[in-house]
Amino acid sequence: MTQTPDRARRRFPGISSRAYEHPLDRSALVALRSLSGFDTILRKLAGLISERQLRLMFLSGAVRANEQQFRHLHEVLRDACYILDLPKVPELYVTQSPMPNAMAVGTDNPFIVVNTALLDLMDEEELRFVVAHEAGHILSGHAVYRQMALILTGLGSRLSWLPLGNVAIGAILIGLQEWQRKSELSADRAGLLAGQDVEAAKRALMKLAGGSRLHEMSTEAFLAQAREYEESGDLRDGVLKFLNLMKQSHPFAVIRFGELHRWHQTPEYTAIMAGEYPRREDDGTASFTEEVKNAARSYKESWEQSGDPLVGRVRDAAGGAADLAGAVFDRFGRRSQN
């Protein structure tokens, strides 16, 4: 691929998706990739189930972007793939819909679908972020593992008659949904790396929440709104936020905005922009144990920094329990020494 970006952006030759993936997303993907032969079998199963049918559906009912149709959108995708060094530029289809949305579909030959409402809503740099977000999904292989989630969910539903079957399946679904939400945060990071315009990325997320009247919105006020959502309210609000999130395949726009704002300010992002990032050629030797530690560290940091009232209560209770346990062990220790 020899596409030259239309403005000066850093390119990331051989970049691994591990460079931008959220720790929980990354640890799950490393574990799945480490299963010899499983990935190949899953791709074949997923392809047989739906990929051919879906591609034919969009080939017959949507417009495929290329040099003759939606040429500018096609060039935006080529630019994103050039910067993220995707081995192949996926097909992109534009479909008529009043809902602004985009998605990456397929496994062996994944493709991208963009709704017309999204084209009408976004300016060029905002659209670059959205298209690169979908390219990030493809580079990470998220479509493959989402298909796995569907297969496992279907298999699990057949076992719901077993004692506690519904409870077990519910726990699996909650875990899969949590992973999927984290995969969206990963793709947002890929969109930022490809566009390299954090303000455009923030505008895109604001527009997904509030529509096209950008002159009526403020990135500073929206960030303050994200902080208020995170920190305000009482214990009841914490429970309600948790219940609301359980219904969502994507994190809320205000959460994505705050997460991307924080990641843009991290040494991790700075290092990637300086050319220091994991390479794809080393994916096979990535340590699952190390990625699990990274995921645990990430949750610990978010747990400690969170201003959410529910998290605060649970954290205080956990801390009190730890203090009580420590006092009990100290007492038994002193007795054993007497």
User: Consecutive sets of 10 residues in the chain, 338 residues long: mean pLDDT of each?
Assistant: 58 95 74 56 56 88 97 97 95 96 86 96 97 95 68 58 55 68 92 97 96 95 92 74 74 93 95 95 73 58 53 45 42 49
The residue length of the chain stands at 338
Strand 111-115 to strand 92-95: parallel, antiparallel, or no bridges (unpaired)?
A: parallel
CB 202 within 8 A of CB 219: yes
pLDDT on residue 293: 62
pLDDT on residue 282: 87
Name the percent of the chain in helix, strand, coil, to the closest 5.
Answer: 70, 5, 25
CA distance 106 to 165: 30
CA distance 31 to 89: 27
CB 209 within 8 A of CB 121: no
The b/e string for 16-50 (b: 16+ C-beta within 10 A; e otherwise) is: bbbbbbbbbbbbbbbebbbeeeebeebbeebbeee
What is this structure's pTM?
0.77
Strand 92-95 to strand 63-64: parallel, antiparallel, or no bridges (unpaired)?
A: antiparallel
pLDDT on residue 299: 52
